[in-house]
Amino acid sequence: MLISMTGFGRAECQDRDYSYKAEIRSVNNRFIDITTRLPKAFADMELPLKKLIKSHCARGSINITVTVSSSNDSSGEWEIKPNLALATQYVKALQEIQTSLGLEGTIHLDSVVGLRDVMKVEPVAIDPAKEGLLLNMAEAAIASLQKMREEEGAHLQKDFAERIDSIEKHAAQIEKRQPEVIQEYKARLKEKIKLLNDGIDMDDSRLAQETAILADRCDITEEVTRLSSHLNQFRKLFDSAEPIGRKLEFITQEINREVNTMGSKSNDTQMANLVIEMKSSLEKIREQLQNIE
């Protein structure tokens, strides 16, 4: 079964005053590249999350974002705390300055809170038990992603199957056309020699020899046999449970090799047009294979 590298998944959960959301996106890549965007409190979860994703995905550029929000008007990720010990030292220092210099006035709150490091912004302390909650939520998001990737892969598989059938059909038409081309060449050669020799026919043995040379030069039996084998290999991989994108890319290269050889041996307009159709189908297959895991 083919799996696309393009997809999106999301999962959410609620735990007391906090809401958690995980979103995961995937696009094509020759290898696997995972980027995480996590709240500061979950920074240590980067490696476990990457390991979890790799257990489900073999290729692709994958981005997972986890956000936390709170129902009690806090950001969910950060909390503001006063640095009382430092504020006390600031007040004492200000009072000492006031006494030493004989200054009048009152030390107000706004005079203190603006001083450096009096207010601290820190990541919310998360209960270690929440790590399991995060992993479960991430796994649900990955399952959603995989479902979309599988659905897209099914559409691509249908398209591949149709294009492979088309290539096979055109190859059969070329194979059928080849004997006709040889006979047409024989007839044209005979008429040309007759015209050049003032109506005298060409010697039958020489005509047969020339025709045989052309038939050997244009013979595509081996190419058709190898092409048929490659097309069947392509189809069989549809049932594989493993990632097959790279294998399909290699087989497509081999199919293209045989089609090119058939094209170089085609000295007939109809056969050349069939080869063009085969190459067009192959180009579409190559483009779509960039999205297969």
Domains parsed from the chain with CATH numbers: 7-75+125-148 (3.30.230), 78-123 (no CATH), 154-289 (no CATH)
| Residue ranges, the chain, pLDDT below 50 | none
Q: Is the pTM of this model over 0.75?
A: no
Per-residue model confidence (pLDDT) at position 48? 93
What's the whole-number average pLDDT of the chain? 83
For 160, half-sphere exposure in the C-beta direction (CA atoms, 13 angstrom radius) is 31
For 222, half-sphere exposure in the C-beta direction (CA atoms, 13 angstrom radius) is 7
CA distance 9 to 150: 12
Per-residue model confidence (pLDDT) at position 153? 93
Per-residue model confidence (pLDDT) at position 210? 59
Task: Indicate the helix (H) or strand (E) that contains 213.
Answer: helix 204-217
Per-residue model confidence (pLDDT) at position 158? 95
